[in-house]
Amino acid sequence: MSVLPEPAGGAPRAPQAGAPLLDVSGVSKRFGGLQALSEVNLRIATGQVYGLIGPNGAGKTTFFNVLTGLYTPDAGTFLLGGTPYQPVAVHKVARAGIARTFQNIRLFPEMTALENVMVGRHARTRSGLLGAVFRTAAFRAEEAAIAARARELLDYVGIGAYAPYRARTLSYGDQRRLEIARALATEPLLLALDEPAAGMNATEKTVLRGLIDRIRGDGRTVLLIEHDVKLVMGLCDRVTVLDQGKPIAEGTPAEVQRNEAVIEAYLGANHRAVSP
């Protein structure tokens, strides 16, 4: 299947392509004596693949965790699709429309691939205890819809054949794709991927790149944290570079690549001294 299924009822609607989707400003986070983030601003337009890069320890994952409610920020305003949201509880952020994957894959290992994606439908479905116990018509209809949608998404990321297998038995690349399918099941406005290419071989990276490209093509917005510079430069529409918790550059990949501050952050201030 090549087209991402249309969002069902209950999910927030995305703004027009090009309109701002995520607008965060002045985000700060301190851990004891370490200022992990200071005054980070980020604007992502609908339909973009937006890259967040930076050297190790620059604060990328911290920013991610703040954005998705895992850490409570010390300061900052957060707008998603034009409406403010408070990143105070992870499950509320997920319901507001930001779905994430994790740097170190966090699937539900003993559940099947299909069940993993079905869990992703939790935020957009509503049947409760009594519906389940009495198997009401509404419950059965919703269950069928959940399963059908989960299968569609498994097919979409290309692992439909593994639906009945436990998640832990899947290969590394397939686990990454399953995580993306599970995130897509929450019908996010913004899909946030934390180093999705980490630990992947060249073939797996190509497949992943194709998948992210396709997700953008289907009108989704993606925020990408990545170490792999080649992947970021080839895939992203815009990029922000973080260094020591501060944004030091913002622009298209080509602009950022020429930026003095970025070169300095990655290679060190004295890199010219050693070059001829």
Residue 184 found at the interface with other proteins (CB under 8 A): no
Residue 135 found at the interface with other proteins (CB under 8 A): yes
- Region of 36-44, 52-60, 139-147, 263-271 interacting with other proteins (CB under 8 A): 139-147
Task: Please identify, using beta-carbon distances, which residue of 50 and 64 lies nearer to other proteins.
Answer: 64
- Give the pair of three-digit tokens for residue 251: 């622009």
With beta carbons less than 8 A apart as the criterion, state whether 58 and 244 touch: yes
Q: Are strands 190-194 and 98-100 parallel, antiparallel or unpaired?
A: parallel
What is the per-residue binding string for other proteins in 14-53, x denoting contact by CB under 8 A?
----------------------------------------
Which residue in the set 29, 60, 100, 216 belongs to the binding site for other proteins (CB under 8 A)?
100
Distance between CA atoms of 143 and 233, rounded to whole angstroms?
41
Burial of 90 (0-12, 13-18, 19+ CB in 10 A): middle
Which residue in the set 20, 55, 57, 131 belongs to the binding site for other proteins (CB under 8 A)?
131
- Region of 33-41, 47-55, 134-142, 238-246 interacting with other proteins (CB under 8 A): 134-142
Task: Please identify, using beta-carbon distances, which residue of 45 and 80 lies nearer to other proteins.
Answer: 80
Residues numbered 186 to 225 that lie near other proteins (CB under 8 A) are: 186
How many residues lie near other proteins (CB under 8 A)? 50
User: What count of other Cβ atoms lies within 10 Å of the Cβ of residue 28?
Assistant: 16
- Cβ-proximal residues to 166 (8 Å cutoff; 6+ apart), any chain: 109, 110, 111, 112, 113
- 76 - beta bridge partners? none
- Give the pair of three-digit tokens for residue 163: 């639906």
